[in-house]
Chain A
Amino acid sequence: MAQPDYDEQHLIERARQGDVESFNMLVLAYQDRIYTITYRIMGEPDGAADMTQDAFLTAYRKLDTYRGGSFYSWLGRIATNLCYDELRRLKRRPADYLEDMGPEDSDDPPPIAADMPTPEQTALSNELQQAIQDCITSLGEDQRAVIVLSDVQGFTYQEIAETIGANLGTVKSRLARARLAVRRCLQSVQELLPAEYRLFTD
């Protein structure tokens, strides 16, 4: 992981001393990427926004526990854990799940991409993006968190293990099952996509 530059480290130190404006500069710098993580895990915009806000509040409150390294990875770890806990809570209380992710939420337009497209991103149709997201959302919370940390956030196995509190073997097997499940899910829905966007050949 890249070391934080001086400006970021300076903002973190000032935020630790109670400077909320300095912390808000960090929020503005990372809120798109943190929201992307929460949206990929939660699968719907309202819950993702709640988790993003919670993540920054928690990060501000726990700034003293930040020990250096990638501040984005540290924030992403907080956001992922919050989403993980929220998904488990919703699983225990289906009524809250229906309230939070009811039909009215499914009519919301999908979030738009930030102004940082990559060549692969421009090639990926909106339909395929939504199909991938739906396949990720169909996973259980354990596999969902792992595949987002690995393939969206780019975490190493060790970082994932530290984030979710599991050993490397669990991370390896959980990620393998998640990828296989998404691969099968995409293959089952790719007939609905234009031929040029199909991932797999028959």
Chain B
Amino acid sequence: MNDYPNMTPPPEINDRDAELISAYIDGMLSAEEQTQFEARLQRESSLRRELEAVQRTVNAIHALPVLKAPRDFTLDPSVVQRPDSTKKIIDMRPQRRLARTWYPLAMVASLLVVFVGVFAIISNQTNPKEPADSVEIAALATNDATTAASSASNLSTADEEPTPDRNMERSFESEATGIAESLPAIAATRTLPSGESALNTGPTQGNMMPGGRGGGQSGGQSGGEPPDAIMPTYIDPLMYDPPPDADDGAGARNMPVPPAPDADAPAEDDVTTFGFDPENADDEAARTMMQPPVNDQVESEEMAESADVFAQSAEIAEAVEAPTPAPFQRLAQLINTVVELLLAILSATP
């Protein structure tokens, strides 16, 4: 009933029948299995044809000739020793297999050279340099610092009333100086998203120094921290754009900080005492630029000196600027050269 007419193509043999055919050829069927299988062979011509085809295949494979070894595989007594614990066998296989192991090592060594080169380039970026746009920003910051310092000088001298307390006046100057110092640092921040090195170096300690002057100078090495009450009005919101992902240290620089308890003149007291109006600071600065101060020449010189310090601080801050695109282009060229060299080596290797 399962026999198929000759004109009908035999169905694909299933795995079970394939196993029965194979085991039947090898005599590996049990007596019962063999009886049942032979009964099926009587009924199913397709099964008979498949058995015959597999049997021919097995016979053909078995009839494949024994091949002659291409060479002698004898072991060299001079280099092969008995496999005791103190003896070893030297592999005498062709160099081709050794090369198969050598190639990955060569590739790893080449990659190591590339990484060393990259490290050297990155390390080179930490050396002081002045990219063009950094210098430009530093110049702007210097102008702002000069303006702020002049404004401070003007404010301290334009008042008709004589200053009763020299220390109080000094304190105000220190605040103005701190504000001015903050500008280069903030300008640097715009081009240095992770500019911790430019902003971390102790502006707060500088403002906490007696008189504020020392603070201005010390902070001038890397930019000073602005007094809290005045700082927002001196910073152009369009110019000051702190990075959103700055860490808490950077964030703390943007937040008002209580005045140092040991400072000679707290910032709020200064503002209150002198009636300083931050809203008019820019106007005052503009007037100062048009009309140089006529009083207190010493203070003017000190302000100018502070401005120079601010300019230096801006330059130093820009020195640790993030890498500009030019080094990356050099890095890409270096990698490209190394890759081409590796390709040339690989293509030349047989």
Contact = CB atoms under 8 A, between A and B. Distances in A.
B72 A199 contact: no
Contact of B83 (A50, A54, A60): A60
A194 to B, nearest CB: 15
A179 B15 contact: no
Given A24-B75, A172-B19, A179 B67 contact: no
B58 interface: yes
Given A35-B69, A46-B96, A200-B53, A56 B75 contact: yes
Contacts of A151: 58, 61-62
B84 to A, nearest CB: 8
B118 to A, nearest CB: 26
Contact of A117 (B65, B82, B89): B65
Nearest to B22: A176
Given A31-B73, A57-B75, A172-B28, A180 B54 contact: yes
A36 to B, nearest CB: 4
Interface in A148-202: 150-152, 154, 157, 172-173, 175-177, 179-180, 182-183, 186-187, 199-200
A28 to B, nearest CB: 7
A182 B93 contact: no
Main secondary structure of the interface of A (DSSP, over half): helix
Contacts of A147: 61
Contacts of B82: 17-18
B97 interface: yes
B39 interface: no
A111 B68 contact: yes
B23 interface: yes
A45 B57 contact: no
A199 B57 contact: yes
A81 interface: no
A11 interface: no
- Range for the number of chain A residues in contact with chain B: 35 or more
B70 interface: yes
Contacts of A114: 65-69
Contacts of B40: none
B93 A50 contact: yes
B74 interface: yes
A71 interface: no
B348 to A, nearest CB: 16
B75 A23 contact: yes
A121 interface: yes
Interface in A70-120: 96, 99-100, 111-118, 120
- Range for the number of chain B residues in contact with chain A: 35 or more
A27 B63 contact: no
A28 B67 contact: no
A27 B65 contact: no
A37 to B, nearest CB: 9
A200 B13 CA distance: 16
Contacts of B92: 53, 57
B64 A132 contact: yes
B237 interface: no
Contact of B62 (A21, A99, A112, A152): A152
Contacts of B275: none
Interface in B67-107: 67-77, 80-83, 89, 91-94, 96-97, 100
Nearest to A154: B62
B95 to A, nearest CB: 11
B108 to A, nearest CB: 15
Contacts of A180: 13, 18, 22, 54
Contacts of A20: 75-77, 80
Given A60-B83, A173-B19, A113 B74 contact: no
B311 to A, nearest CB: 59
Interface string B223-254: 00000000000000000000000000000000
A32 B64 contact: no
Interface string A26-60: 01100111111001100001100110111011001
Given A183-B56, A186-B57, 12 more contacts: A17-B82, A28-B72, A34-B73, A57-B92, A61-B89, A64-B83, A113-B66, A154-B62, A173-B15, A179-B54, A180-B54, A200-B56
Which 10 A-B residue pairings sit nearest by Cβ, starting from the closest?
A113-B65, A120-B63, A18-B82, A176-B22, A24-B74, A20-B77, A61-B83, A151-B61, A111-B67, A176-B19
13 contacts: A21-B77, A28-B74, A32-B66, A52-B69, A60-B75, A100-B100, A114-B67, A114-B69, A172-B19, A172-B23, A173-B15, A176-B23, A183-B53
